[in-house]
Copies of this chain bind each other. A is one copy, B any other.
Amino acid sequence: MQLIVQKFGGTSVADAARMKRAAKRAVEEYSAGSKIVVVVSAQGKMTDELLEMAYSINNKPSKRELDSLLSTGEQMSSALMAMAIHSLGVSAVSFTGRQIGITTDSFHTKARIVNINDSRILEELSKNKIVVVAGYQGVDENDNITTLGRGGSDTSAVALAALLKADMCDIYTDVDGIYTADPRTVSNARRLNKISYDEILELASMGAQVVHVRSIEFAKKFNVPIRVRPSFNNGTGTLICKEVGEMENIVVSGATVTKDDAKITIIGVADEPGQAANIFHELAKEKINVDMIIQNVSANGLADLTFTVQKDDLILALETTKRIKAEEIIADDKIAKLSVVGIGMRSHCGIAEKMFKTLSDEKINIQMISTSEIKISCVIEEKQAEKALNAVHNAFELDKEQ
């Protein structure tokens, strides 16, 4: 018997009508003979409303208390989803993260799953119930409620799919799949039928915003096939799976531009071993993710160091950076990161060159560059983001099936 994990995001359960539609999806697959585990996010803007409430009371709320507050959104959704399934005549039972033993580390608001206990889920599935799980949450070893960070419900879903050796993890969302570029920016963007974990990992971290990056890492590690599907129609969406031979022929699968990063430049830091390590050690201690890094040696044994962090982390990153002895520290949050990704890059040359030439033709200045085996990213001025994305999408003919 097939086991399917279905995850419904906030927009897919935003009101009673959508909740019922989502429940109908679950019941359809259940009636077709599959065992079903449903993972739900908080309804619509609930998480934002809860955050707003918290900040209206305390402008620096305790992360432990934030987690306890925010986790209620998913708990509500899970209970309502069980009720919606009941109304279709099928048995269902909802669980919080804790009730099915999702234990995490203690890093509140960004916790990572350490363990899940499958006994209660298996017990209820064996009674022919649909099991509904509140996504995004767990408890640490001291029974404090934790949350997995934004997009954490995807992680919950994939982790459960891995644990239960599910045949498929369907992520229902308000888009009809993963595109070669954001269709709101690039009018001729094309939906992909299939994409590899590695490509989507690069795309997700660059802001494809459809599936959370940590859930893809999990899926890749445990080889869980994910289907990103629209909740509003029967579209087949995009399958995310391990790399297969045919993918090699596609040089560039997609392009994205993100505005989530800010740039910090440290001018005149001592150019001696350990200085850079020291800075990044301090940032790591604060759990700040550093993305791109460039270092230039300058005169007088001093160096200039530039790196990017998430905009949300900029203030904390600046405070942390100021512990370092340097001549000057400059922050710039008016940047965008343009990236192209494709497994085929491994075996094809000239991709970077083509990207740089395209931007140059459009008179777009490149501030930073980073490359991986299957990705090239350039930091550019924020206001040129959309123009740059369209130019690159066209240059690589991403609108055409390859």
Contact = CB atoms under 8 A, between A and B. Distances in A.
Contacts of A64: 93
Contact of A143 (B53, B56, B75, B99): B99
A341 B144 CA distance: 46
A25 interface: no
Interface stretch (A78-86, A235-243, A285-293): A78-86
A65 interface: yes
Contacts of A128: none
B57 A68 contact: no
A16 interface: yes
Contacts of A78: 68
Contacts of A144: 99
Contacts of A66: 79
B68 A75 contact: yes
A94 B80 contact: no
A383 B16 CA distance: 38
A249 B227 CA distance: 77
A79 B69 contact: yes
A265 interface: no
B53 A80 contact: yes
Interface in A143-185: 143-145
Contacts of A65: 79-80, 82-83, 86, 94
Interface string A44-78: 00000010011011110110111011011001101
Interface in A206-251: none
Contacts of A56: 16
Contacts of A83: 54, 57-58, 61-62, 65, 69
A57 B263 CA distance: 47
A124 to B, nearest CB: 11
Contact of A54 (B68, B71, B80, B93): B80
A96 interface: yes
A20 interface: yes
Nearest to A80: B57
Contacts of A84: 57-58
A19 interface: yes
Contact of A76 (B58, B59, B69, B94): B69
A305 to B, nearest CB: 36
A69 B71 CA distance: 12
A66 B20 CA distance: 17
Contacts of A82: 62, 65
A191 B20 CA distance: 50
A131 to B, nearest CB: 13
27 contacts: A16-B56, A16-B57, A19-B57, A53-B80, A54-B79, A57-B83, A57-B84, A58-B83, A58-B84, A58-B86, A61-B83, A62-B82, A62-B83, A64-B93, A65-B79, A65-B80, A65-B86, A66-B79, A68-B75, A68-B79, A68-B94, A68-B96, A69-B75, A69-B76, A69-B80, A72-B76, A96-B145
A68 B79 CA distance: 6
Nearest to A87: B58
A215 to B, nearest CB: 24
Contacts of A68: 75, 78-79, 94, 96
A145 B95 CA distance: 9
A50 B62 contact: no
Contacts of A16: 53, 56-57
Nearest to A95: B68
Q: Determine which residue in A16, A66, A68, A72 has the highest number of CB atoms from chain B within 10 A of its CB, and name it.
A: A68
A46 to B, nearest CB: 10
A62 B84 CA distance: 10
Nearest to A134: B68
Contacts of A19: 57
Nearest to A23: B57
